[in-house]
Each structure stands twice: as C-alpha cells, then as structure tokens.
Amino acid sequence: MRRLTDWRYWPDRALHRRIWSLAWPMMLSNITVPLLGLVDTAVIGHLPSPHYLGAVAVGSMIFSILYWTFGFLRMGTTGLVAQACGRDDGDTNRTLLAQSLILASLIGVVLILLRTPLTGIALELMDPAPDVLAEAAEYTAIRAFGAPAMLCNYALLGWFVGNQNTRIPLILLTAGNLLNMLLDLLFVYGFGLHAGGVALASVIAEWSSLALGLWFCRRLLRSLPGRFQLEPLRRLKAYAAMVRVNRYLFVRTVTLLMTFAFFTAQGARQGTDILSANAVLLNFLILISNALDGFAHATEALSGRTLGKGNLRHFYRTVVSAGLWSLASAVGLTLVFAVAGNWIIALLTGIPSVREEAAIYLPWLVALPLIGIWSFLLDGVFIGTTQVKAMQNTMLFSVFCVFAPVWWLTQPLANHGLWIAFLSFFAARGLSGAWVYWRISRLQGWMPD
C-alpha cells in the first residue's frame, strides 16, 4: 500500500500516453469481432428458411468455444515475449515466435484430423433440429480446415502485443473480418452456398489473415536484434517454459468456459424468455470486455517489458496508470448502461417479452463494470509477468468456492440469484487476484526466474 501513496510510483504523462497508444488499437480490434458475428447473422438471416441461421449459430458457437480453449497461445506468448523484449534478448524473442507457431500448427493439424468425432460430439450435445443438424454438419466440416491458421493467428497476435505493437493486430483483425464479410456476401448470395458458404468465407479469411500477419512479422523481425536458433526448436526441453505457462492458462480458460456454459444452461432452464434476455444482456459484457481488455493488453506488454529490464518501479507505475484508466472506463460504462441501457436492449431485440425481462435484470449489468474491472486488469498483470499459475488458482477459487456456492444458495431467487452468483464470480476474481498481487509484491517475487 505504501507504493500507492508514494509519488515515485505514480505515472507521468508519457506513461499515460504510452498506455493509451497500446490500448486503443486493441479496443478497436476487439470491436471488429462481434461486428463480424452481426454480419454473419444478417447475411444468413435473410435467407428464406430460418434453419440456415440456426446452423451457422450452432456451428460458429462450437468453433468459438474450441478456439477460445486454445487462447493460451495468445496470452502465454505475450508475457514471455514481453520479458524477452525487455531484456533485449532478440534470440529468445525469435525462438518464442517460432515455438508458438509450431505449437499452434500442431494443435491445428490435430483438430483437422479429429474434426469428425469432435464436431459430432459437439453437435450431439447441442441436439439441434434435423434440418439444422445437416447444415451445421456441413458448416463444421468446412470450418475445421481453418484451425491451423486461426491458432497461428493467436500466436502472432500474442507476439506482436509482446513486442508492444498493437497496431498490426488492429490491421490484421480488421482486414480479416472485412474480407470475411465480403466473402459471406459473395458465397451466400452470389454462389448460393448457404451455411457452407459462410464457413468457407471464414476459412479463406483466416488463412489470408495469417499470410498478412507473417508478412508483417517478417518486416518487424528486420528491426529486432539477434537471429533464429534452430537448436531450441528441435529439443523438447526448450519448450518447457512455454508449456508450463500454457498449461495453467489452458486450465484457467476451460474453467471460465465452463462457467459461461453453466450460466447459459441455467438460464435456459428458466424458459426461453429468460434465456434470450440473458443472451441480450451478455452483449453488454462484450462491450465491457472490449473496453477493459485494451488496457489489460497494454499492461501485459508494458509490465512484461519493465520486468525484463529489471525495473520494478516502472512496473508499479505501469499498473497504477492502467488501473486509473480502467477505472475511468468502468465508471463511464456504468453511466452509459444506467442512462441508455434500455435503449441498447431495444436495439438488440424487438421482442417485447424479452425486452421486459432484460430490463428487469439490467441493474446487474450496470454494476458489472465496476465489479469486473479488477479481474481484467490483474489478468493483464499476471499474463505480462507470466504469473499464470496465480491466474489459474484465482479462477478455480472464484468458480468452485464462490460462484457455485452462491448460485446454490440463491436458487430461490431464480434468475436474480444466477446474476448475483455471476457478479460474485467477477468480484472473487478481483479480490483474490488483488491478494495475490499484494502477496507477490510483499515477497518481492515479481522478477522472473
């Protein structure tokens, strides 16, 4: 706590500008992702039969969950690269790039080889109607061939952010999503390919984005010191640091996915209107994460770099600066939701019963930015410093020791109880993460081994 009252640990204007220069491209990048989903929905939603829309919704959800499971390829790469960048260790920086791309490619190939049983199990669990099932099976069979490209894109995004370059990710995500949208229109309306056309558009866009990313990667490598070393790529032991970081992030991500799936399932048990209302309100969470994740990404890059340089004071100043901007953004989002929440709901759905239900539970979303801010910020700190075991443990604690018991105790409150448990989950992540941050600071354990 002494650091918060010592002016030496407070950021100056230059650091504030640096935080913003890294944050705003990632914010804009994040916005393009839900926009793509809206375009997919709009294109396929104007076909004569609704089962095409259902097939794309089911298929895209399967791959969203599947790819999000391997999100550690982005997060783990960022922290390790940021620290190597801080040490001016160009050899390690290049080795981490190659290792992450190799790992991503191998996982992608495995997903292609196992596409039939994996997507079959997923479709069986989701149990769509027969006409939806046929189109969804075609969608997933095609979409699987983009897996290596998509996962390599994760690795490249992590590498660019670790090198404190967030503008290239903005270009890659924007260009890839725009190409996807154009191909959607061409394949669906031009060639009449329906759900398979949407899947093919995504695959082509993913591989095109990878090609563009590798081109930018080549340009950036010219300005970095060092050279590629083949030996670390051949020895399994050389992958130890990456595997160690990624295994904790994998557990953390799977646990998070389980929580969101459970939240959705419990809403579904309360009826279609509650399920739809919760789905509408979760779009507010997308807005929150888009805003606050920008500062989290900036924290990842800068905290890793400062620790790589061995500059603890600048590390604390970085955390304070990112915390101040995150808090300001959270307050702004809370005010926007409080004033315009019902208007946003009306934009997202025209069904009166769903609007009414969503309005009832809107106050929980008004409070969420101020409660969830600290979990986003501390995730950025832990990724940048590769304290990812702490991320895993705080997630496990928040889910199994807070979210699950609170949900159990508040079941008589129905959907209000579900939202109380959901906000308690975010609060627990923030509080447990803050305790870990304080403990590591007290023990002076931030410096990487």
End-of-domain residue from the set 210, 234, 258: 234
Q: How far apart are alpha carbons 320 and 441 in whole angstroms?
A: 14
- Asked if residue 350 is part of any domain, the answer here is yes
Query: Comparing C-alpha atoms, which of 31, 167, 152 is closest to residue 102?
Result: 152
- Residue 186: the pLDDT is 92
Same domain as 178, residue 106? yes
The pLDDT mean for the chain works out to 85
- Asked if residue 330 is part of any domain, the answer here is yes
End-of-domain residue from the set 172, 204, 234: 234
Same domain as 224, residue 261? no
Same domain as 257, residue 215? no
End-of-domain residue from the set 202, 234, 266: 234
Find the Cα–Cα–Cα–Cα dihedral 51, 52, 55, 59, rounded to 10°: -170
Q: How far apart are alpha carbons 69 and 252 in whole angstroms?
A: 9
- Asked if residue 36 is part of any domain, the answer here is no
Same domain as 212, residue 81? yes
- 289 Cβ contact list (under 8 Å, min separation 6): 30, 376
Q: How confident is the model at residue 11 (pLDDT cuts 50, 70, 90)?
A: low
Dump pLDDT digits (tens) for 291-339.
Answer: 788 888 888 888 888 888 888 888 888 888 889 999 999 999 999 999 9
Dump pLDDT digits (tens) for 244-276.
Answer: 888 898 899 889 988 988 887 788 778 877 877
Same domain as 284, residue 423? yes
- Asked if residue 242 is part of any domain, the answer here is no
- Asked if residue 282 is part of any domain, the answer here is yes
Range of the domain at 256: 1-30+247-449
Dump pLDDT digits (tens) for 107-125.
Answer: 999 999 999 998 888 888 7
Same domain as 204, residue 149? yes
241 pLDDT exceeds 60?
Answer: yes
Same domain as 24, residue 100? no
Dump pLDDT digits (tens) for 74-107.
Answer: 888 888 888 888 888 888 899 999 999 999 999 9
* Tally of structural domains, the chain: 2
Query: Comparing C-alpha atoms, which of 381, 177, 386 is closest to residue 297?
Result: 381
Same domain as 314, residue 395? yes
Contact 9, 311 (CB under 8 A): no
- Asked if residue 239 is part of any domain, the answer here is no
Same domain as 151, residue 285? no
Same domain as 146, residue 51? yes
How large is the average pLDDT for residues 338-361?
A: 84
- Asked if residue 37 is part of any domain, the answer here is no
- Asked if residue 270 is part of any domain, the answer here is yes
Burial class (CB in 10 A: 0-12, 13-18, 19+), 4: exposed
Same domain as 218, residue 118? yes
3-state DSSP call for residue 185?
Answer: helix
Q: For the chain, what percent of residues have pLDDT higher than 70?
A: 90
Same domain as 59, residue 9? no
Query: What is the pTM (predicted TM-score) of this model?
Result: 0.83
Buried/exposed 113-123: b ≥16 CB within 10 Å, e otherwise? eebeebbeebb
